Amino acid sequence: EPEVTQTPSHQVTQMGQEVILRCVPISNHLYFYWYRQILGQKVEFLVSFYNNEISEKSEIFDDQFSVERPDGSNFTLKIRSTKLEDSAMYFCASSDKRASYNEQFFGPGTRLTVL
């Protein structure tokens, strides 16, 4: 069964450093998402991406964040200058259709720790 994959599984970085989190969505999917979960809190939406542009973003997704689909398979989330409060589990998701009744398929997550 096809799966969304994410690398690395755990990233430790110093405050102020740039990080890139990588995702490989399911191959025939067209809609891509990043979510995050701070420890003990809700899973929160960051950004959605379709047709090589951002469809929607939350207020969390400020100028420090960017997304890119550099080739036909990868989908990346970049944080330019990490803050302590960026420490969280980051989930990538993809879906194949636009309709709101379609489920999204999630990767295993990248745990980001900012020191």
Partner 1 sequence: AQSVAQPEDQVNVAEGNPLTVKCTYSVSGNPYLFWYVQYPNRGLQFLLKYITGDNLVKGSYGFEAEFNKSQTSFHLKKPSALVSDSALYFCAVRDIYSGNTPLVFGKGTRLSVIA
Q: Does 98 bind partner 1 (CB under 8 A)?
A: yes
Please name the residues in contact with 108: beta carbons below 8 A apart, sequence gap of 6 or more: 5, 6, 9
What are the tokens at 41? Answer: 């809190």
Q: How far apart are CA 101 and CA 8, in angstroms?
A: 30
Binding residue (CB under 8 A) for partner 1 from 8, 20, 54, 56:
56
Please name the residues in contact with 8: beta carbons below 8 A apart, sequence gap of 6 or more: 22, 110
Q: Which stretch binds partner 1 (CB under 8 A): 14-22, 66-74, 76-84, 106-114?
A: 106-114
- As measured in angstroms, the least distance from the Cβ of 64 to partner 1 is 19
Q: Does 55 bind partner 1 (CB under 8 A)?
A: yes
Q: Does 51 bind partner 1 (CB under 8 A)?
A: no
Q: How far apart are CA 113 and CA 74, in angstroms?
A: 22
Q: How far apart are CA 58 and CA 80, in angstroms?
A: 17
Q: How many residues bind partner 1 (CB under 8 A)?
A: 34
User: Which residues of the chain form contacts with partner 1 (CB under 8 A)?
Assistant: 3-4, 6, 9, 31, 33, 35, 40-45, 48, 50, 55-56, 58, 91, 93, 95, 97-109
